[in-house]
């Protein structure tokens, strides 16, 4: 199918009525200006983004450097190992403290018992206790016998005679208390016989 020249001319005339070159030109100029403005805006945004990217890159690098573990700081494994050792040491110290607290409590108990014993000893009067335990009469009789005096009592327990041994030990004298002398006279006589 071939198009006739007339038909083609007719179609061009129809298009010519629709196409206004001035309007098209203005539309093209406006489009170019819009494209140029958009391109300038994109360039400006791109420059800002590149500037932000550089700033963020510097921040990232400084963060990377600061996040890097310094050589003076132990590694995570070394740190964990140190913490474990410190935990073990802490448990050992706690056990030792507990043992020493037990020893201290035991010693405090001993100290309290010793203080009670010391207080009892301070309050204790051995002479009074001895006096309670000993019969004074028996003690005096023992002393008298040691000095050479041997009392003789009757069946009722009354003193009736005194046997006196002399100091030399060779003589034994009998003093009867029923002959009516005074206590003073008997005392002088007994000492005189004991010293002979």
- The Cα–Cα gap between 148 and 37 comes to 151
Question: Which residue, among 117, 98, 99, has the nearest Cα to 109 in the 3D structure?
Answer: 117
At 26 the pLDDT is 82
The three state secondary structure string of 62-123 is HHHHHHCCCCCCCCHHHHHHHHHHHHHHHHHHHHHHHHHHHHHHHHHHHHHHHHHHHHHHHH
For the chain, 196 residues long, give each residue's pLDDT as a single digit of tens: 678 888 888 888 877 777 667 777 888 888 999 999 999 999 999 999 999 999 999 999 988 888 777 777 778 788 888 889 999 999 999 999 999 999 999 999 999 999 999 888 888 777 776 666 666 677 777 888 888 888 888 888 888 888 888 887 778 888 888 888 888 988 888 888 888 7
At 91 the pLDDT is 92
Beta bridge partners of 54: none
Using only the alpha carbons of the chain, give its radius of gyration.
Answer: 68
The angle formed by the CA atoms of residues 17, 20 and 23, to the nearest 5 degrees, is 155
Q: Give the three-state DSSP class for 193.
A: helix
pTM here is 0.32
């Amino acid at each position: 199918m071939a198009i006739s020249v007339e038909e083609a001319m007719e179609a061009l005339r129809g298009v010519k009525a629709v196409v206004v070159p001035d309007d098209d030109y203005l539309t093209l100029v406006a489009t170019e200006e819009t494209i140029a403005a958009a391109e300038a805006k994109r360039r400006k945004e791109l420059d800002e983004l590149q500037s932000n990217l550089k700033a963020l890159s510097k921040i990232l690098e400084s963060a990377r450097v600061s996040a890097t573990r310094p050589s003076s700081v132990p590694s995570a494994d070394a740190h964990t190992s140190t913490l474990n050792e410190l935990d073990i040491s802490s448990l050992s110290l706690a056990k030792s403290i507990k043992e020493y607290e037990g020893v201290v409590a035991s010693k405090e108990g001993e100290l309290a018992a010793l203080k009670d014993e010391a207080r009892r000893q301070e309050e204790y009067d051995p002479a009074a206790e001895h006096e309670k335990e000993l019969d004074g009469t028996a003690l005096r009789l023992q002393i008298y016998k040691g000095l050479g005096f041997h009392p003789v009592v009757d069946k009722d327990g009354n003193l009736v005679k005194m046997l006196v041994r002399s100091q030399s030990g060779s003589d034994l004298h009998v003093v009867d208390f029923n002959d009516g002398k005074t206590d003073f006279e008997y005392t002088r006589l007994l000492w005189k016989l004991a010293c002979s």
